Homo-oligomer: A and B are copies of this chain.
C-alpha cells in the first residue's frame, strides 16, 4: 500500500473493524434481551451448547467455542443456581462431570432461539434473500 494508509482509510475499509462494530451491537442487543432471563451472553452460549448436545463434559463445552475452562465453570455455577442445568457424575471418570439441561432448561430453549432469530432479523432484515445467503456462505468459510 501507498501513502493512502492513513487512519481514515484503515477504519473505513477494514473488514475486521466493521465486524467488531457489528459484533458489539449484536452483543448489546443480546444482553438486553437475555437480561429478562437473568443470563449473560457467555452463559447463553454455554446453555445453547448444553441444549444442543446432552451430557457433554465441561471441557467439551469449552472446545465448542474456545472458551476457557474457568469461564465454563462459572457460567455453569450460574446456570445451575438458576435451575437450568445440572452437573452429574461422569460415568467413567470421577474427575469429570456431564452436563444436562433440566426440564426448566429445556423449556427455556425456544425462548432463547426466538431471541437469536429476532436479533438476527434486526441485523440482516435490510438485505435481500440472495445477499443474506451470500453473506452466510462467506461467514461459514471464515468461522
Interface positions of A (Cβ within 8 A of B): 1, 5-8, 10-11, 13-24, 26-27, 30, 41, 48-49, 51-52, 65-66, 109-110, 112-113, 116-117, 119-120, 123-124, 126-127, 131-132, 134-136, 138-143
Number of chain copies forming the complex: 2
Residues of B contacting A16 in the complex (Cβ-Cβ under 8 angstroms): 26, 30, 116, 119-120, 123
Question: With A and B bound together, what is the CA distance between A15 and B21 in angstroms?
Answer: 15
Residues of B contacting A14 in the complex (Cβ-Cβ under 8 angstroms): 116-117, 120
Residues of B contacting A20 in the complex (Cβ-Cβ under 8 angstroms): 23, 26-27, 41
Specify which of B1, B119, B135, B143 is in contact with A22 (CB 8 Å cutoff).
Answer: B143
Contact, CB under 8 Å: B7 / A52: yes
Specify which of B6, B109, B123 is in contact with A7 (CB 8 Å cutoff).
Answer: B109
Residues of B contacting A116 in the complex (Cβ-Cβ under 8 angstroms): 10, 14, 16-17
Residues of B contacting A13 in the complex (Cβ-Cβ under 8 angstroms): 136
Contact, CB under 8 Å: B139 / A18: yes
Separation in Å of the A54 CB from the closest CB of chain B?
A: 11
Contact, CB under 8 Å: A1 / B117: yes
- Of listed A1, A22, A48, A110, residue having the most chain B CB within 10 A: A22
